[in-house]
């Protein structure tokens, strides 16, 4: 486990001299009747000082303080600090169960905290200082949960520089929120005068003091800067003239001339060396000065001189942000390389202390890429086992490709990320590079792992021969029996069996992958095994089991410290299940979650697949304008990404949409485009689309041939949802051919496999063409449901007044645009009306519709 800085959990010690801000203490006291006090203002307005002084003044017995920085913008670290803070004061509570998971999980920590505090009699205060460092949605969600379910024993205080992304308006409406802002924090003239006299020991006449207070405008840091300048000036009048001059109005110039240049050279050097650091302790400061051969760190002198340095706790210190900014600017002028040298030294020190996040932060800031690679390399295995790609990927993105290219373990890390987030795209280059670096003839764990990952990527893209070749090579080189490699190879066997339609064998291998992952504490293997087992169960029509796995995985993943790459896939799977069951609102919610998680992980392929699912759901809702809008978004997003799978999904979606809108010419063009790739000719979905299009075109023999081909393939791989569609479509073809008994037999097949899991959406999407056949089948709950559904109800077959009008215009020979203008409707709306007419009249073109309408006496 990564080390935590325990002193970040300590309330800053009281200052010897401080302005007692009774009016604000009263505001804080009154705010305890509400759930949250938010103190929001820019730097230098005394937010931290105010809260710490209030806590010391009121002698708050039960308080947890957490000072935040950019490294805490990680749910895992945030949860660890939160747990540590409360456990230190509540040792009687049993928190060990969280540690057994290997990670502190933020949602569970918050849930436990709510429940445990609810049983306490004492009042508690939780302070999150510098919350502007947090923008992670998981942390915001956890904090929202804590506020929404806050026990009466707890009051929270947040200090930040800007409004946090929390539902403040709702909390304010519920009277849960107490706010203190810039206007409240500004020093009044009385407080400013007290600060000058009692804290800074600067005595001024009333006129000069009034001018200084006016210039500072209540800004505490600015007033402190002015007081230092005045105390060093030959006279107050001279100091005031300096403040009023053009130079003094520039904070950087003022700090340079009136503060920095007044210090001895040794302290100037010490300040410039500390400026690049977010925080520092004596050990870090001494290490840097020793490495730079500067003698002692001068930290005690800086503290004694009160040179804008503040204690974070009993160990750690930081420079005032404004003073630090000035020092960084000045250092860049006098020694442009100093910042990077200091940051590199800090990275080395943090590495040795196992502060890996801080070490990588400093090394990358210093652009010390070789150092960053050396720091990260030993930790790659742990991050991969934890599936912490959300943490790993940004670091790798900042490293030049040649640095990654020369380190086999970093190439392995990139391969894992490409498999998880890019479906293996671009993985072969890294595989070849690792082979160059470590060889592929002698046993080597890195070469074996790379080949196993190559086999996995090839398997995922249906390149089974290549997968088998790399898999055999991986087995030969894995003489150490590395369990991660064994898990990857077992997963490959599962995917191959899945593709070949051997569901029993595939499920066995998926379960073995999942179990092995749990055994070796590899969240990647355990999750990928479970997710793909759910996918297998979906494909073979066992929706209930698949849904149970997905919901369980989502519940587990929501408690994890960071968004996981598999969350998008889980929600996408749920969306497919709900769609097939005709639970369309639930399907839309699930697909939105999938899209959101795909964006968080920048998983482009998963986003495209989920967006295509959203289009399909909208089609089933007859919301064709919105479906088309989402399809256009998908096409725009896919531009520039030459991905054959995504391209095929778009083409299939376009073809089906055109068929449903009865734009058969457009559908024919899309189907022809699909079939330009010989590998796609045997795709059962493409064959079904061809059969459906041929049915709409009344090419019944062609339709029957294509559907029988699709049936053979779908039965071999046991793709149940598609089988329902194929059987039902084939039934409609046979009925049109006059083979009613065979048609009823095929429809009964569809109902038999659909009924156990209520896979009814494929039947509903075929609309009224099934009604005459359904009416001739024995009554059953599923048949009755289909007959009485809004889209297939017999009453829906009646021609509406609007459709009567359209029939008359069609008989008069008007085109679509003219009819739409005459009826004052959109042309797309007109096409839907015409499509419904064709279905109700059981025809496939205008001429047949007019003939049938005249036969039934609908038009003259």
Strand locations in 643-699 (E): none
Mean pLDDT calculated for residue range 155-163: 89
Residue 424 clears pLDDT 70, i.e. is over it: no
* Range from 254-258, 274-278, 383-387, 838-842 that averages highest in pLDDT: 274-278
Distance CA 83, CA 718 (A): 49
**What is the per-residue pLDDT for 100?**
40
User: What is the DSSP secondary-structure string of 100-153?
Assistant: TTTS--HHHHHHHHHHHHHT-SS-EEEEEETGGG---HHHHHHHHHHHHT--TT
Mean pLDDT calculated for residue range 672-701: 87
Distance CA 601, CA 137 (A): 13
**What is the per-residue pLDDT for 403?**
92
Strands 177-180 and 309-311: unpaired
**Range with lowest mean pLDDT among 87-101, 199-213, 214-228, 488-502:** 87-101
Mean pLDDT calculated for residue range 479-497: 82
First and final C-alpha spacing in the chain:
83
**What is the per-residue pLDDT for 249?**
43
Residue 564 clears pLDDT 80, i.e. is over it: no
| Torsion sign, CA atoms 517, 518, 524, 526 | positive
Confidence of residue 101 (pLDDT cuts 50, 70, 90): very low
Buried b (16+ CB within 10 A) or exposed e, 144-180: bebbeebbeebbbbbbbbeebebebeebeeeebbbbb
Confidence of residue 247 (pLDDT cuts 50, 70, 90): very low
User: Residue 36 pairs with which residues in a beta bridge?
Assistant: 156, 177
Tally Cβ neighbours within 10 Å of residue 716.
11
Packing angle of the helix pair 700-717, 720-736 (nearest 10 deg):
160
Q: Phi, psi (5° rounding) for residue 596?
A: -65, -45
Tokens standing for residue 707: 């559907």
**What is the per-residue pLDDT for 244?**
52
**What is the per-residue pLDDT for 769?**
75
**What is the per-residue pLDDT for 267?**
87
Residue 731 clears pLDDT 50, i.e. is over it: yes
CB 594 within 8 A of CB 602: no
Residue 52 clears pLDDT 80, i.e. is over it: yes
Distance CA 302, CA 289 (A): 14
Tokens standing for residue 677: 């790739």
CB 110 within 8 A of CB 145: yes
The CA-CA-CA angle for residues 565, 571, 572, to 5°, reads 95
**What is the per-residue pLDDT for 254?**
57
Buried b (16+ CB within 10 A) or exposed e, 513-527: bbebbeeeebbbbbb
Residue 794 clears pLDDT 70, i.e. is over it: no
Distance CA 329, CA 326 (A): 5
What percentage of the chain's residues is helix, strand, coil (to nearest 5)? 70, 5, 25
The CA-CA-CA angle for residues 798, 804, 805, to 5°, reads 150
Bigger pLDDT: 460 or 374?
374
Confidence of residue 145 (pLDDT cuts 50, 70, 90): very high
**Range with lowest mean pLDDT among 76-85, 111-120, 758-767, 835-844:** 835-844
Mean pLDDT calculated for residue range 294-304: 74
Q: What's 377's DSSP letter?
A: G
Per residue in 102-130, pLDDT tens? Answer: 345 788 888 888 888 888 888 899 999 99
* Range from 218-232, 304-318, 684-698 that averages highest in pLDDT: 684-698
Strands 63-67 and 177-180: unpaired
CB 661 within 8 A of CB 838: no
For 510, half-sphere exposure in the C-beta direction (CA atoms, 13 angstrom radius) is 23
Mean pLDDT calculated for residue range 733-745: 92
Helix ranges restricted to H, 174-250: 182-185, 189-194, 206-216, 220-232, 236-244
Distance CA 164, CA 459 (A): 44
**What is the per-residue pLDDT for 38?**
95
Helix ranges restricted to H, 444-566: 445-460, 464-477, 483-499, 503-519, 523-539, 543-558
* Range from 85-99, 128-142, 630-644 that averages highest in pLDDT: 128-142
Residue 93 clears pLDDT 60, i.e. is over it: no
Residue 423 clears pLDDT 70, i.e. is over it: no
Bigger pLDDT: 2 or 192?
192
Phi-psi bin for 698: left (phi > 0), alpha (psi -120 to 50), beta?
Answer: left
CB 691 within 8 A of CB 706: yes
User: Residue 64 pairs with which residues in a beta bridge?
Assistant: 126
**What is the per-residue pLDDT for 242?**
54
Radius of gyration of the chain (CA): 35
Mean pLDDT calculated for residue range 250-256: 61
**Range with lowest mean pLDDT among 90-99, 415-424, 664-673:** 90-99
**What is the per-residue pLDDT for 322?**
63
Distance CA 725, CA 754 (A): 10
SS3 (DSSP) at 45: coil
Distance CA 514, CA 279 (A): 42
CB 155 within 8 A of CB 88: no
**What is the per-residue pLDDT for 143?**
94
Query: What residues have CB less than 8 Å from 610, skipping those under 6 apart?
Result: 568, 571, 572, 575, 591, 594, 595, 598
Q: What's 797's DSSP letter?
A: G
Per residue in 453-470, pLDDT tens? Answer: 888 888 777 777 787 788
**Range with lowest mean pLDDT among 4-18, 442-456, 472-486, 554-568:** 554-568
Distance CA 584, CA 761 (A): 9
Furthest CA-CA distance within the chain: 111
Tally Cβ neighbours within 10 Å of residue 654.
22
**What is the per-residue pLDDT for 368?**
95
Residue 443 clears pLDDT 80, i.e. is over it: no
Q: Phi, psi (5° rounding) for residue 471?
A: -60, -45
**Range with lowest mean pLDDT among 156-160, 341-345, 559-563:** 559-563
Residue 411 clears pLDDT 80, i.e. is over it: yes
Give the pTM.
0.58
Closest CA to 364 of 332, 392, 340: 340
Per residue in 809-858, pLDDT tens? Answer: 888 888 888 888 888 888 878 887 887 787 677 676 788 888 888 877 77
Tally Cβ neighbours within 10 Å of residue 363.
29
Distance CA 62, CA 59 (A): 9
CB 413 within 8 A of CB 384: yes
Residue 790 clears pLDDT 50, i.e. is over it: no
Distance CA 655, CA 831 (A): 16
Residue 745 clears pLDDT 90, i.e. is over it: yes
Closest CA to 747 of 715, 709, 786, 718: 786
CB 700 within 8 A of CB 737: yes
One-letter-per-residue 3-state SS of 458-475: HHHCCCHHHHHHHHHHHH
Distance CA 266, CA 305 (A): 13
SS3 (DSSP) at 178: strand
Distance CA 136, CA 75 (A): 8
Q: What's 20's DSSP letter?
A: -
Closest CA to 757 of 612, 544, 465: 544
Mean pLDDT value across the chain:
84
Distance CA 774, CA 753 (A): 16
User: Residue 40 pairs with which residues in a beta bridge?
Assistant: 160
**What is the per-residue pLDDT for 800?**
81
One-letter-per-residue 3-state SS of 299-366: HHHHHHCCCCEEECCCCCEEECHHHHHHHHHHHHHHCCCHHHHHHHHHHHHHHHCCCHHHHHHHHHHC
Distance CA 31, CA 156 (A): 10
Residue 95 clears pLDDT 80, i.e. is over it: no
SS3 (DSSP) at 730: helix
Mean pLDDT calculated for residue range 421-435: 76
Residue 558 clears pLDDT 70, i.e. is over it: yes
């Amino acid at each position: 486990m990564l080390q935590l800085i325990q002193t970040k959990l300590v309330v800053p010690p009281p200052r010897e001299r401080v302005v007692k801000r009774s009016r604000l203490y009263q505001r804080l006291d009154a705010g305890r009747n509400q759930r949250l006090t938010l103190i929001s203002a820019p730097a230098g307005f005394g937010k931290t000082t105010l809260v710490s002084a209030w806590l010391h003044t009121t002698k708050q017995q039960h308080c947890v303080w957490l000072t935040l920085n950019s490294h805490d913008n990680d749910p895992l670290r945030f949860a660890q600090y939160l747990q540590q803070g409360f456990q230190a004061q509540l040792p009687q509570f049993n928190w060990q169960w969280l540690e057994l998971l290997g990670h502190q999980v933020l949602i569970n920590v918050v849930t436990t905290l709510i429940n445990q505090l609810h049983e306490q009699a004492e009042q508690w205060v939780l302070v999150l200082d510098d919350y502007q460092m947090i923008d992670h949605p998981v942390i915001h969600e956890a904090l929202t949960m804590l506020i929404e379910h806050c026990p009466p024993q707890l009051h929270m205080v947040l200090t930040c520089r800007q409004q946090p992304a929390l539902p403040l308006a709702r909390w304010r409406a519920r009277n849960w929120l107490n706010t203190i802002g810039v206007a409240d924090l500004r020093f009044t003239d009385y407080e400013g005068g007290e600060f000058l006299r009692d804290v800074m020991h600067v005595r001024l006449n009333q006129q000069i003091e009034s001018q200084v207070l006016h210039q500072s405008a209540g800004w505490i840091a600015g007033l402190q800067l002015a007081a230092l300048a005045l105390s060093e000036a030959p006279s107050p009048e001279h100091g005031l003239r300096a403040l009023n001059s053009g130079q003094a109005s520039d904070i950087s110039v003022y700090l340079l001339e009136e503060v920095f240049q007044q210090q001895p050279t040794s302290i100037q050097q010490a300040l410039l060396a500390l400026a690049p650091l977010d925080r520092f302790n004596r050990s870090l400061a001494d290490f840097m000065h020793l490495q730079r051969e500067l003698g002692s760190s001068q930290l005690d002198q800086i503290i004694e001189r009160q040179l804008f340095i503040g204690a974070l706790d009993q160990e750690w210190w930081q420079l005032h942000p404004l003073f630090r900014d000035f020092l960084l600017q000045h250092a860049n002028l006098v020694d442009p390389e100093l910042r990077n040298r200091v940051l590199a030294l800090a990275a080395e020190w943090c590495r040795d202390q196992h502060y890996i996040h801080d070490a990588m932060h400093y090394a990358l800031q210093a652009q010390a890429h070789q150092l960053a690679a050396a720091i990260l390399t030993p930790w790659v295995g742990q991050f991969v086992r934890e599936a912490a790609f959300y943490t790993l990927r940004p670091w790798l993105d900042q490293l030049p490709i040649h640095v990654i290219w020369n380190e086999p373990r970093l190439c392995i890390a990139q391969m894992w990320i490409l498999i998880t987030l890019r479906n293996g795209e671009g993985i072969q280059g890294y595989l070849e590079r690792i082979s160059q670096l470590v060889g592929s003839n002698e046993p080597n764990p890195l070469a074996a792992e790379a080949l196993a990952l190559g086999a996995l990527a090839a398997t995922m893209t249906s390149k089974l021969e290549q997968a088998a070749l790399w898999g055999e090579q991986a087995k030969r080189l894995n003489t150490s029996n590395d369990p991660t490699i064994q898990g990857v190879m077992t997963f490959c066997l599962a995917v191959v069996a899945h593709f070949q339609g051997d569901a029993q064998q595939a499920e066995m291998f998926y379960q073995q992958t999942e179990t092995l992952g749990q055994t070796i504490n590899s969240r990647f293997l355990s999750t990928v095994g479970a997710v793909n087992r759910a996918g297998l169960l979906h494909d073979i029509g066992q929706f209930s089991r698949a849904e149970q796995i997905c919901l369980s995985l989502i519940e587990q993943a929501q408690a994890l410290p960071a968004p996981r790459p598999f969350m998008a896939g889980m929600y996408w799977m749920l969306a497919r299940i709900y769609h097939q069951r005709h639970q369309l609102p639930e399907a839309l919610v699930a697909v939105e979650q999938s899209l959101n998680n795909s964006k968080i992980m920048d998983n482009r392929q998963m986003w495209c697949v989920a967006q295509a699912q959203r289009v399909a759901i909208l089609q089933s809702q007859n919301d064709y304008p919105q479906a088309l809008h989402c399809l256009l978004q998908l096409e725009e997003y896919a531009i520039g990404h030459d991905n054959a799978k995504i391209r095929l999904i778009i083409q299939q979606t376009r073809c089906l949409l055109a068929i449903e809108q009865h734009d058969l010419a457009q559908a024919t063009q899309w189907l022809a485009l699909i079939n330009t790739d010989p590998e796609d000719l045997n795709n059962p979905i493409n064959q079904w689309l061809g059969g459906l299009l041929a049915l709409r075109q009344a090419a019944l023999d062609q339709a029957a041939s294509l559907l029988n081909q699709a049936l053979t393939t779908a039965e071999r791989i046991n793709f149940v949802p598609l089988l329902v569609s194929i059987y039902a479509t084939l039934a409609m073809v046979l009925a049109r051919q006059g083979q009613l008994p065979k048609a009823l037999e095929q429809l009964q097949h569809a109902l038999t496999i659909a009924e156990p899991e209520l896979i009814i959406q494929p039947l509903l999407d075929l609309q009224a063409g099934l009604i005459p056949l359904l009416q001739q089948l024995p009554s059953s709950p599923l048949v009755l449901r289909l007959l009485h559904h809004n889209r297939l109800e017999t009453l829906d077959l009646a021609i509406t007044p609007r459709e009567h009008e359209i029939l008359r215009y069609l008989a008069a020979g008007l085109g679509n645009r003219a009819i739409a203008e005459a009826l004052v409707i959109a042309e797309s709306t007109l096409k839907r009306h015409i499509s419904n007419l064709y279905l109700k009249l059981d025809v496939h073109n205008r001429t047949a519709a007019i003939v049938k309408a005249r036969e039934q006496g609908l038009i003259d």
